[in-house]
Structure 1
Amino acid sequence: MESSKTYIAFQPGYYLQEYIEDREISEEELAEKMNVSVQYIKDLINGDAPMTRETSVKLECALGISSGYWLRLEKGYQKRLKLVREENELEKREKPQ
């Protein structure tokens, strides 16, 4: 998650973590269902790995949540992240030193 005065950008992994916690699915179980490493799941949750088409399809198969949902979250995250970073950059330039 990144934020500015006006915006907050939550990566898709934030929502993934909420989902697996609510359904009491472990990261290990999810990794096994998706045929990926546990570290990849951790990276996805922490926003260190992007939500790719391939990952979204694997999540759909593992969790039953459409790949389109995950891809829309990623697209929204990238748009919001751009706004956050632009606003933070403007604020940094406007601050007197």
Structure 2
Amino acid sequence: MKIETKEKDNFYSMVDSLKKSRRADLSDINNDDDIIEELYVDALDGDFVLKSCLRPNTTMLIGRKGTGKSTIIARLQHEYRKDNDKLSLY
């Protein structure tokens, strides 16, 4: 199967537009600061992933695109922002 130049150009334009798209920010929904806490569902029972990440050691989140790494980070930030003694940067 031979791919025509026009098809390649269209594909590259589509990929470029996806790179430029902005990721949704859950805090924009209904001005609800606690939306991430309400929507977050941990992959393991008892919020094990969240609790593991909150421990005072280095944690690496590894996974393919779309597996929830950014969602876990958003949930972690929400927890850290409840405490005035901590600063969360992402």
Same fold (TM over 0.5): no
| Higher RCO (CA < 8 A, seq sep 6+) | 1
Kindly indicate which of the two structures has a greater share of residues assigned to helix: 1
TM superposition score normalised by structure 2: 0.28
TM superposition score normalised by structure 1: 0.27
Kindly indicate which of the two structures has a greater share of residues assigned to strand: 1
